[in-house]
Amino acid sequence: MAFDFKKEYKELYRPKNRPEIVDVPSANYIGVSGQGDPNEAEGAYQQAIRLFAFEGVGVVGGVGRVVAG
């Protein structure tokens, strides 16, 4: 079963009505920059993610471009 961040970290995803300081736990993540609709079946975002997953190296550094790391 997939990890449900919104359920596990309710205080981060369901803020109060007033500003407050919260502690955000450290986590691993990747950033994908580019343009286009991420929900488009064969769009640039989907192609970049697919390339990243199959190559297994580096970080996606733009639309469809993998930077070895």
HSE-CB of 33 using CA atoms within 13 angstroms: 4
* Three-class SS state of 66: strand
pLDDT of residue 55: 58
Nearest to 63 by CA among 55, 50, 54: 50
The tokens describing 35, both together, are: 């343009």
pLDDT tens column, 19-64: 888 888 887 777 766 677 888 888 887 877 777 666 555 554 444 4
What pLDDT, on a 0 to 100 scale, did the predictor assign at position 60? 47
In terms of pTM, does the model score above 0.85?
no
Specify the pLDDT at position 24.
Answer: 85
